[in-house]
Structure 1
Amino acid sequence: MKLAQSAAAVLLAAVISLQAGPGAIYAAGAKAGTSTAAASTASTVKSHSNDVYNHMLSLLKSPAKQAEAVSYLEKNIRQATPAQATTMLLKLENAEKANLDAWNNKFFKDSVQSKLMKLMKSGDDLTTLIRKTSDKSLKSLLTSARDSGYRLETSEGMFYLVLDYPRYQKVRSFVTADIQSYIDIMTAETKNPFANDAALSIGWTEVTKRALAQEKFLKSFPKSNRAAQVKELYQQYLNVSLHGLNNTPLFDYDTKKIDPKAKSALAAAVSKGDPSKSGYLKTLKGFLDVLKKNNDTLTPDVEKYRKSVSGA
């Protein structure tokens, strides 16, 4: 801070001197001093950003320090360069994924599951449960999980942890554009997963909206460090768009007719977009065209088309 103030003082003195006209020699000296101070300040800033970056990476070497790493990132990421900040965040995500199974093994214990079953109500998150419980061991477990970057979900009567991508929104503005988009995609997926208990848990319109967002990411950032993850997610959405899920089939199991709401959503996406500029929409248009020829019924021709475009 003192160094930055010194650079500012030198610059101000130079400006005043030039306006007063003390002579070219003094002005040149002030300019040289300013350049030296600015260079020194830049060097100090770079050194500090490197220190922040290296300390974050050192914390991530130990699973026991994951919570400390999460807190450190949120407090210090603005002091790193965008490239460093991006690497720090992605390495944290890697660590959270790598340690997720170990964390879930703690939650899969019968004693923990039974306590959560009695305690948890719809809409409760880890912070709410921490406040609600008087069980010290459970409170400690829930707190550690939250602080380590996880959130609690439930499916088929089981409680389990997932990565808390919405929390990444706190540091979104400090990372590169592709990872900002990635955070948004994963935040939507975390807040409202597309499937639960083998059934679609979002509307068909939302399916098309998310698929288009994923496709846009892949077009905009084909070389992104997270392109492979988004491509895998996009493939899931493409398959859902053409097949549905076991408990939310696209075609009725008995009549073989397409779900009217699903067809309407797919058709709306095609009409609002431009199939010539979107592989996803081009696929949907072709699918709808084949359906029209087959009276909206799942026939061998329809099956052949969707296998040719989705591989499933």
Structure 2
Amino acid sequence: MKSKTKFLLMIMVFILILTLSGCKYSNVQANDERVNSNSKENSIRGKEGDNKNSDIMKDFRNMVENNNEPVDLINYIDENIEKVLPEERVEMIEKLELIQEKYIEKYASELFADDYQAELLSLSEIPQLRSQSKEDIKEYLFFNEANVEKITNDNLKELISKIIQGKYRLINLEGAFYPIIDYEALKVYDKYISDELKDYIDIKAMDSNEPTIIDGSLMISFDELAERLMAVENYIKKHSEGIRCEELLRLYGTYLIFYLEGADNTPIYDEETYKIKDEVLSSYKKTMKSKDTVLSYIIGKYMNIIEENQFIIDEDIISQITVLHNEAIAKLEECK
């Protein structure tokens, strides 16, 4: 059994990358032009339809207010999402995510009851990921849903089924499984929601499918990290008035630090020569070719500094990262 303090620390560190939740939706914003609709949907606007629609949303909001579990909300959404207005469909998915976030700690605590973790690990083939290669970690990082039927403890089987049906994944962090929101699974609602929400889910799905960092090591290449940075930058520019901009701006800042500096176990330089790695240098050169982006501008400045230092990454180079990070964030905020 892990202590609550260690659990909270681990969840906070991982969620910094995977499920940043700094932007809580105090109100729902949606533009009908951003939502796919057809004549059948528009017919809901009749008086009888309005009354029925009002009852559906009233019941849904009551479920949210009463903190019904994600699986209950999903069942209700699946049954009713085609019966409500486009903006209300967006509201449903936004509030579902809020409830999913609220239940992460509760489900994680329940997963440490009895010998639950031992049984989950026994079904996952690799009991301790830290000693494995990066390829093995990627392959065995998530609990295989096909193994649910192999769980012998009925209470655990019920819990895992409920978590998965609530559109979570179980990820192995330091030899224990924790729930994270499965944003890839939320894409089933793409045809019902706004472009802004779809783009947001696409970005979040990158990390729920393949985490950026685990145990101080980058799990993706620097080229892939650059792609994630560009996706977030494009989102901020495209949806400058969106209610998720602040959240994704923080995510961009986190990605950028990793791109400029690397991680504890994945620095951008060779640890013997302190020379910048070829992989990183190649990625920076590719990024610089992207026209009219904040990222290419910042990397261009960074490359000039690195070249002047004979491609050696020392304290003088590292000291420039905060300045470059702050400049990038300021430039992106100008887009809002």
Aligned to 1:181: 199
Q: Which residue among 92, 107, 129 is the counterpart of 1:103? A: 107
- Does 1 or 2 have the higher relative contact order (CA < 8 Å, sep 6+)? 2
Q: Which residue of 2 aligns with 1:309?
A: 324
In structure 2, what is the Cα distance between the partners aligned to 1:39 and 1:151?
Answer: 38
Q: Is the 8 A contact 2:216 2:264 kept in 1?
A: yes
Name the counterpart of 2:84. 80
- 1:76 is displaced (CA, Å) by 2.0
CA–CA distance in 2 between the matches of 1:40 and 1:66? 26
Q: CA, structure 1 residues 139+126, in 2 after alignment: closer, same or farther (shift >3 Å)? A: farther
Aligned match for 1:133, one of 141, 144, 151: 151
Larger Rg: 1
* Of 156-165 and 296-305, the range deviating more from structure 2: 296-305
Most deviating of 299-308 and 95-104? 299-308
Find the counterpart in structure 2 of residue 286 from structure 1: 301
Which residue type is aligned with residue 293 of structure 1? E
Q: 1-side partners of 2:62 and 2:111: how far apart?
A: 27
Please name the residue that 2:271 is paired with.
Answer: 253
Q: Deviations over 1:13-36 (max 9, x none)?
A: xxxxxxxxxxxxxxxxxxxxxxxx
Rounded to whole Å, the distance in 2 between the matches of 1:210 and 1:185 is: 8
Note if contact 2:44-2:85 (Cα within 8 Å) is conserved in structure 1.
no
Alignment of 1:270-285 (within 5 A): 270-271=288-289, 273-274=290-291, 277-285=292-300
Amino acid at match of 2:277: D
Structure 2 length-normalised TM: 0.75
User: What is the SS of the residue equivalent to 1:99?
Assistant: helix
1:121-173 Cα deviation digits (max 9, x unpaired): 43764631222223212111111211223211102211111011111101122
Q: State the SS of the aligned residue for 1:109.
A: coil
The within-5 A match list for 1:108-119 is 108-109=112-113, 111-119=115-123
1:1-312 to 2 correspondence within 5 Å?
Answer: 42-109=46-113, 111-121=115-125, 122=140, 125=143, 127-271=145-289, 273-274=290-291, 277-311=292-326
Report if aligned partners of 2:69, 2:99 keep a CA contact under 8 Å in 1.
no
Preserved CA contact (<8 Å) 1:290 1:301: no
Q: What does the per-residue CA deviation read over 1:180-234, in whole Å, with 9 as the maximum and x for residues that have no partner?
A: 1001111111000111111000111110001000011011112212112211111
Matched residue SS, 1:263: helix
Q: Which runs of 5+ in 1 are unaligned?
A: 1-37
Change (3 A) 1:165 1:109: same
* Paired residues of 2:90 and 2:197 also in contact (CA < 8 A): yes
- Structure 1 counterpart of 2:299, which letter? L
Residue number in structure 1 paired with 2:20 = none
Instruction: Give me the whole-angstrom Cα distance separating, in 2, the residues matched to 1:41 and 1:64.
Output: 28
SS at match of 1:266: helix
State the alpha-carbon separation in 2 of the partners of residues 44 and 233 from structure 1. 44
Contact 2:148 2:157 in 1 (8 A): yes
Question: Separation in 2 of the partners of 1:66 and 1:147?
Answer: 8
More helix by share: 1
Q: Given residue 74 of structure 1, which amino acid in structure 2 is its aligned partner?
A: D
**Contact between 2:143 and 2:172, CA under 8 Å: does it hold in 1?**
no
Shift of the 224–137 alpha-carbon distance from structure 1 to 2, 3 Å rule, reads same
> Which stretch of structure 1 is more off in the superposition, 296-305 or 103-112?
296-305
Q: How many residues align?
A: 272
